[in-house]
Amino acid sequence: MISILGRTAILVALAACMVGAVAGLYGGARRSADAARWARAMAWTFFGATLVGVGLMEFALLTHDFSVHYVAEVGSRSSPTWITVVSLWSSLSGSILFWAFILGAYAAAQAWYTRKRYPEHSSYAMGMTLVVGVFFSFLVAGDANPFTPVSPVPLDGPGPNPLLQNHMLMVVHPPMLYLGYVGMTVPFAMGAAALLAGRITPAWSRALRNAMLVPWGFLTLGIILGGWWSYDVLGWGGYWAWDPVENASFLPWLTSTAFLHSAMLMERKDQLKGWTLTLLMGSFLLTILGTFMTRSGVFNSVHSFTQSPIGPIFLTFLALVLTFSVLLLAARIDKLSPPRDGLNGPASRDTAIMAQNLLFAAFTFTVLLGTTWPLINEAISGEKISVGGPYFNKWGVPLSFMLVFLMGVGPALPWGRASLDAVVKRFLVPLGIAVLVVAGCAAMGWTKPWPLAVFGVSAFAAVITLQEMAAPGLARWRKKGGNLATALVQASLRTRRRQAGYVVHLGVVLVAIGVAGSSGWRNVEQLTLRPGETGKAGRYSLTYVEHRTDKDSHRSSELARIHVATDDADLGFLEPRMNTYPRMGSPLPAPAVRSVPGEDLYLSIVKIDTKTGLLSFQAVIQPLVWWIWFGGLVMALGAALAAWPSRRRSTARLAHAKPDTAGVAASVKAST
Amino acid sequence: MKPAIQRRLFLLGALLVAGGALGVIAWGGIGDNLVYFWTPAQVAANADKAVGATIRLGGVVQAGTVHWEQDQQLLTFTVGESTVDTKTPLQVEAKSAPPQMFREGIGVVVEGTMRTDGVFSADKVMVKHSNEYRAPTGEADVKKLYATVEDL
């Protein structure tokens, strides 16, 4: 029954996307408001149908309806309810259904947001989003259909992959990444609309940048949570391994970050339009490439799904989108109005943004090459290799260093031109503080060159960022007097978008410090203890108190209770465990972590003898890991602040009164 | 030439130079940092390249060769192409405790490099065991082994 309903819902979604795509593109080409309305209605239908699909699948999962193919694949009567709920995205076909649902939600949001604005572009953009919708609905309806009936109906299923059951972060990490990946569709569609219409207005480039901020924030959060998940689950004490699938999420992050910056030049100065739109198309293409890499089984990775037939389909889609993007850019780039005369001074924010863009492009190239090289190599020579982490670090570390440096330099420079004297004056204090930080760290005995350099440049960037954040408030306070705090808050509210950008920058600084510290001073100790014995790891004494066995419905665990103390403090107990899932023969270690801002102590079992209790484990001691998670949170918060719609409602209503011109004027006004 | 065209040409030139330099550097960087997926026989065949290169060695732990020094956390064993390999068994030394499922006759992937004394020095020892597990018997099976162990 659910099979039939589910497949019907998917067919409705597919039909809605097809009709809406045609209506939207037609509405854009003919400037037909009726067709545009149809496209929007179809976007809502798409959303509704996918919502029903996801609801049906969750219902099937929760009621253990094993006649549904996907439930038979990942369901299990012994799984706890929360695992059953998140099973929706634990395997391939369910995750594609979930993917289509998120695209539906984005399409509906786009329909809502553009319903009374941007008549020139919105219909095209709606059409393009639904074209992508056609592809995903087609996948769900065809090769990746989770609703296919199973016969005979099994009595129980195996449950999802144990690696995914091992941690609560499975609840949030994949949805965040999907929200980031899928959300790139909307700015892509809007960029394509600009090219199709052959014109880009300041209001549209502004909307475009806002539309990118949303998925960018989710992607950032998804990547950080992914790192956190591998740290807490995989047991080797690291959070990033330059694994192909990690790279797959990092690549669009790089290009979309570059886009968010070059789009400021596009919006403000009408410059770099071709380049900015190229970055936009590139970001979307990289999300498709990333999906292909995760789901086709060409790479073996912790985060990837098993071998599946949808690889070739994705590759075809990738080729089509690439061809379309290149042709569209080539055909229309000259139609976009030529740039206003914009010779920028060498010391200007414009130049900093361009340099930043070049660095990001270089970074993208480096990671893309390293990630795809094993495939190219295997195709040519048949030899199986992979590219090691040192390659990525060799380029990634200096590039990141320069990017953090530019993050400090850029905001301190004015748009256009600047006199060199004024620039030098602005940098004196931050540079001084950076030197002090480096000297202080060196005096404490932290003398590794790269981490030390990153600490210095992070201090430099942080000081400038804080200066810039305080500047509008201080100016207001000097001019008008009164309460300093009030002046700071009021001025910040007035310049919310800029302040939000600076919050993101501060988050980046925190992440940079965390990465530099944790990779610079990582210490791994191997210990083997009998119950009652005490071992040393760095400054910690670890006493192995006892071991015990816990049994859950879906797994059994062997726990080691370890008491942690330093010379002057009792830090309580840590309980790393070794989980055994019936479906998987080999046990999975689940590490225990003591995470504080200063330092992480990470214990992971290598081997535990259930009879004698003889325990071998790894103690990984890394400083500043905590800062990475915190910094990621700050970045996402900044993105949310920047993307939060304000004063939009009133401008929208104004636009409704005079549909054609007032909307643009109002949006422009809201932007200043 | 018009200044605009001049600027474009300059930009194009700069991009080409930057791209070229990047390509060359990246190429070299990749060449130095490859990870090879080899079996003991392949290590023997590539003896000249093996010393110092990062290798993921896949094979079967030979019976009667496992030895663990608990005090020094030193694990030594021999890896072969199949359960009994008389041609190219390779001595492995790892600074770690034997992982939970580690035992004689099981498939392993060890990451490390060849030392000049002909011993494989490993940083990581990975074992994968599944319900359908059986000892690999040839190169094709060892390849499958990689697929299952790589995610550890």
Interface check A589 vs B, CB under 8 A? yes
The shortest C-alpha distance from A212 to chain B (Å) reads 26
Give the list of residues 6+ apart from residue A166 with CB closer than 8 angstroms, or none. Answer: A233, A579, A588, A590
Q: How many CB atoms lie within 10 A of CB B23?
A: 12
d(CA A281, CA A284): 5
- Which residues, in sequence order, are bridge partners of residue A527? A617
What is the structure's pLDDT at A287?
94
Q: How many CA atoms lie within 13 A of A644 on its CB side?
A: 15
Nearest-CA distance from A666 to chain B in Å? 35
Please report residues of B whose CB lies closer than 8 A to that of A163: 151
**pLDDT for position A211:** 94
* A346-388: pLDDT as tens digits: 778 888 998 999 999 989 998 998 998 888 888 888 777 888 8
Nearest C-alpha neighbor of A411 from the set A470, A489, A361: A470
Q: For residue A22, give every residue at least 6 positions away whose Cβ sits within 8 Å of its Cβ, in sequence order, or none.
A: A127
CB B100 to CB A366 under 8 A?
A: no
CB contact under 8 A, A528 and B70: yes
Q: What Rg, from alpha-carbon coordinates, does chain A have?
A: 27
Q: What gap in Å lies between CA A90 and CA A88, rounded to an integer?
A: 6
Specify whether the CB–CB gap between A280 and A261 falls below 8 A: no
* A140 backbone dihedrals φ, ψ, rounded to 5°: -65, -40
SS3 label, residue A410 = helix
Residue type, A206: R
Which residues does chain A have with pLDDT short of 70?
A: 163, 296-308, 337-344, 583-586, 646-672
Contacts of A370 in chain B (CB under 8 A): 26, 30
Q: Are A392 and A370 in contact (CB under 8 A)?
A: yes
Q: Taking CA A227 as the corner, what is the angle to CA A224 and CA A229, rounded to the nearest 5 degrees?
A: 110
Within 10 angstroms of residue B138's Cβ, the number of other Cβ atoms is 10
Both tokens of residue A480? 């008008």
How far apart are the CA of A412 and the nearest CA of chain B, in angstroms?
Answer: 25
Cα angle: A167, vertex A216, A275; to 5 degrees: 145
| End-to-end Cα, chain A, rounded Å | 55
Half-sphere exposure of A367 (CA within 13 A, CB side): 28
DSSP secondary structure letter of residue B76: E
Of A234, A389, A586, the CB nearest to B128: A586
CB contact at 8 A, B79 and B127: no
CB contact under 8 A, A366 and B133: no
Predicted confidence at residue B3, as pLDDT, reads 62
- Kind of pairing between the strands at B67-69 and B54-61: unpaired
Q: Is A36 exposed, middle or buried (0-12, 13-18, 19+ CB in 10 A)?
A: buried
pLDDT at B133: 35
Return per-residue pLDDT of chain B as tens, 152 residues. 566 676 677 778 877 877 777 777 666 677 778 888 888 998 988 888 888 888 989 888 999 999 988 888 899 999 998 888 888 889 999 988 888 888 888 888 898 999 999 899 998 888 865 433 333 344 444 444 454 443 33
- Measure the CA angle with vertex A590, ends A585 and A591; round to 5°: 145
Which residues does chain A have within 8 Å of residue B22's beta carbon, measured at their own beta carbons? Answer: 362, 365-366
Nearest CA in chain B to A525: B96
Chain A residues touching residue B129 (CB < 8 angstroms): 585-586
Radius of gyration of chain B (CA): 22
Q: Test B147 with A578 for CB contact under 8 angstroms.
A: no
Enclosing H/E stretch for A454: helix A449-480
Per-residue pLDDT tens for A406-461? 999 998 888 877 777 878 888 899 999 999 999 999 999 888 999 999 999 999 99
Distance (Å) from the alpha carbon of A382 to chain B's nearest alpha carbon:
12
